[in-house]
Amino acid sequence: MTLSHINSFDTDNPQKLSRQLSDLEDNVSAELDRVRAGAVPIPIVASFSATASRGIVALLPDQQLTIDTSIASAAAVLPPLTPANFGRKFLVVKRVGTNSIVTSCQDATALCNGGAFPTITAIGITTFCCDSSGYYR
């Protein structure tokens, strides 16, 4: 990642230099906002209500998925391990205490924390990340 050209200065003219320094502050702020936005993705908020006939949902990278299990349990499926997903967050929010969310991966050989994928029974947020060795939370 590189920063674009920020400013040049005219040190022979104090009035012009004052304006240029003000512009520099604005440009540095804009550049930092651009870098922050590219480096730290903001999770996309989505929701899913599990029913008896509709209980499986796919988790996407950089998504905060709220799952309502008040009617039925749900299954949340993580994508296969690929370099494009390494280090990215997969957030699952369980809204109610009834029923559960069974997590798994499309890749049957993938592990979570070196073992089986968890079943989420408690209300709250569960964050998954992955690298070449598997998923972890």
Section 45-73 average pLDDT: 93
Claim to verify: residue 59 and residue 125 sit in the same structural domain: yes
Claim to verify: residue 30 and residue 56 sit in the same structural domain: no
pLDDT, position 2: 55
36, 103, 94, 92: which is closest to 63 by C-alpha?
A: 92
pTM of the model: 0.70
In what side-by-side order are the strands of the sheet with 56-58? 56-58, 74-78, 101-105, 119-120
Claim to verify: residue 75 and residue 19 sit in the same structural domain: no
- The number of domains in the chain is 2
Section 27-37 average pLDDT: 79
Pairwise CA distance, residues 27 & 43, whole Å: 26
Using DSSP bridges, classify how beta strands 101-105 and 119-120 pair: parallel, antiparallel or unpaired. Answer: antiparallel
pLDDT, position 14: 83
